[in-house]
Structure 1
Amino acid sequence: MTRLFPGRQRQQGFSLVEIMVALTLGLVLLGGAITLYAGSKDSYRLQENIAGMQENARFAIHALRRDVEMAGYPLVNDIVPFVAATTTNGNGAVSDQITIQYLSRAPATRDCLGNNIAAESPIINRYFIGEGNDLRCQGNNNDAHQSLVEDIHNMQALYGIDDDNDSTANRYVRADQVGAGNWGRVVSLRVALLVASNGDINATQQAGSISLLDTEIDAPDDNRLYRVFTTTIPLRNRIP
């Protein structure tokens, strides 16, 4: 006898529950991949900003060192007083200014603005932090000045005084603490720069204050990264 109604065949495919589980697992994996990508991007941006800060600090310190090492050239006798390098003290968060003086060598050399200075004429370069938070330089007492390095937010300076005539600094003081009779014993300049990252990197807020040598300033409340770079520069023309 032929059966008119054959037996049911087993259905093929996935159930609704299986599909929902698969979709959920897929979303979890996708979320993990997105998180990993975002973390890698943030890490790359952080490293890029740190590298930029280090490069800005290196360039700023190089510019200062190049001039400070020439300060007081040539050695000046007691008849004509000649201040090799001076700073204008800031108050709190206000930056110091560094003024460097020396004589142009033959052939003629340039000031920090690129102006040609005749041989045996004084070169006077003034370094300071501009309103745009950049290291600027003003050459030979001209009103004109130009930006050298960006994202430099503060600069502080101390003078190293040699008290025992061994050409090594025994103590570091601010410009207004040197004393009129001690300028001839200044053998080095210590400079601290507060450098900021170029971009917003959602940095952890720094509580309290930041130390630059003997000065405390309030920590910025933005999302940029800040670091202090310090260097000590000898005044070679003051060291026998």
Structure 2
Amino acid sequence: MKKSIAGFTLIELMIALVLGTIITAAALMLFISGQRDITLQQASADIQSSGNFGLGFITKDIRLANLDAANSLLKKDTAYGGIIIAASNYPQSMQQAIQGKNVFSSAIGSISNVKDPFSGAMIGSAQLVIQFKAQNDGFNCEGRAYTAGSYIVERYFLRADIDASNEPNSPLGLACEATSYVDGASTFNNSNFGSGSGQLIIRRVDYFHVLLNVSNNDNSTFKYLDMSNYAADSTNPHINAVQIGMLVRSNDGIGGNNFRADQQYQVLNQSIVVNADNNIKTPFLRRVIQQTVALRNAGLGISDTVTAAGGQ
């Protein structure tokens, strides 16, 4: 007696193959989506850690600006003034040492990776130079020791990072260069100050912008000016606070191919778009980080504020 042999029909086999393919594809999509989420979270954490650390590092010293200056009202002609705009902010004994050197704050004192969204013209980054009198021994932003009673000068600017690969544009970072001098000295402790590379504080910054909160003599009018407009203001208003804005990006790409060359960012009063390499379309996470720092040694004491916004 013959035994009947049962098996899959062709239709059943095809259904099993289709179901297996669908389940495998769904699992693969979940894996890819999970990887993208992890990459995005890592990029966001990277920006937050570097941005928060960098801002904290900068604002700590900015709050000391104008400490023990000749006048508590900080202006562009204040001797030993905390925000260095002009030669008059340095003592008379240092006038020869600063000639021809890049030792002043400027609206476009350093490079950037951004351009105007309307004209397409490149926009330079700001340079911020501050000084304060050290009340105790300590270390400057480059990690060099200084002694109590010295005047500490720090220069914040963007420069290229030599440790870079597969970058969507110039690998710029926010750096700080520092020096010091004592009252009556005719030279800086670091004779190369103004031309050194400094120490990187925030590793990837596409744009750095600075505004000054200023007011007239009776404090009836307040406004924000960049360094150039403040230097050109004939009324010589006094400075109450410094507003810092940066476009910070992640060190690594976040995957995908949805890079938007027309993505606009608002950094303080300046609209910008990223000037990216057309051959590298990998999107990078970017965030606008802004903070207003009250100059507690220079007048009214406006409250500190921090804001952030983002994009790709």
Higher helix share: 1
In the TM superposition, what is the alpha-carbon distance from 1:180 to its structure 2 partner?
5.9
Equivalent runs, 1:176-215 vs 2, <5 Å? 176-178=228-230, 179=233, 181-182=235-236, 185-202=238-255, 204-206=258-260, 207-215=262-270
CA-to-partner distance for each residue in 1:120-164, whole Å, 9 max, x for gaps?
221000011111311111011533511122112211000001236
SS of alignment partner, residue 125 of structure 2: coil
Matched, 1:90 2:108: yes
Structure 1 residues 74 and 169: CA distance shift in structure 2, 3 A: farther
What is the match of residue 101 of structure 1?
Answer: 131
Runs of 4+ in 1 over 4 A off after TM superposition: none
Structure 1 residues 80 and 213: CA distance shift in structure 2, 3 A: closer
In the TM superposition, what is the alpha-carbon distance from 1:169 to its structure 2 partner?
7.8
Report the TM-score when normalising by structure 2: 0.67
SS of alignment partner, residue 142 of structure 2: coil
In the TM superposition, what is the alpha-carbon distance from 1:98 to its structure 2 partner?
0.8
CA-to-partner distance for each residue in 1:39-86, whole Å, 9 max, x for gaps?
011011101111111111111211110111000111423997223114
In the TM superposition, what is the alpha-carbon distance from 1:115 to its structure 2 partner?
1.9
Task: Count residues with an aligned counterpart.
Answer: 231
Structure 1 residues 169 and 63: CA distance shift in structure 2, 3 A: farther
What is the match of residue 291 of structure 2?
Answer: 231
After TM superposition, the structure 1 stretch with the greater mean CA deviation from structure 2, 44-53 or 115-124, is 115-124
In 2, Cα distance between the equivalents of 1:10 and 1:194? Answer: 75
Give 1 or 2 for the bigger CA radius of gyration.
1
What is the match of residue 147 of structure 2?
Answer: 118
| Alpha-carbon RMSD | 2.4
Report the TM-score when normalising by structure 1: 0.86
Matched, 1:146 2:199: yes
- Counterpart code for 2:255: N
In 2, Cα distance between the equivalents of 1:163 and 1:139? Answer: 31
Q: Point out where structure 2 has 5 or more consecutive residues left out of the alignment.
A: 85-104, 110-121, 162-171, 180-189, 301-312
What is the match of residue 216 of structure 1?
Answer: 271
In 1, Cα distance between the equivalents of 2:198 and 2:263? Answer: 34
- Counterpart code for 2:152: I
Equivalent runs, 1:161-176 vs 2, <5 Å? 161-163=214-216, 165-166=218-219, 170-176=222-228
In 2, Cα distance between the equivalents of 1:229 and 1:151? Answer: 13
In the TM superposition, what is the alpha-carbon distance from 1:201 to its structure 2 partner?
1.1
In 2, Cα distance between the equivalents of 1:236 and 1:169? Answer: 19
SS of alignment partner, residue 113 of structure 1: coil
CA contact (8 A) 2:69 2:80 kept: no
Structure 1 residues 41 and 144: CA distance shift in structure 2, 3 A: closer
SS of alignment partner, residue 212 of structure 2: strand
In 2, Cα distance between the equivalents of 1:165 and 1:188? Answer: 16
In 2, Cα distance between the equivalents of 1:149 and 1:218? Answer: 20
What is the match of residue 3 of structure 1?
Answer: none
Q: Point out where structure 1 has 5 or more consecutive residues left out of the alignment.
A: 1-5
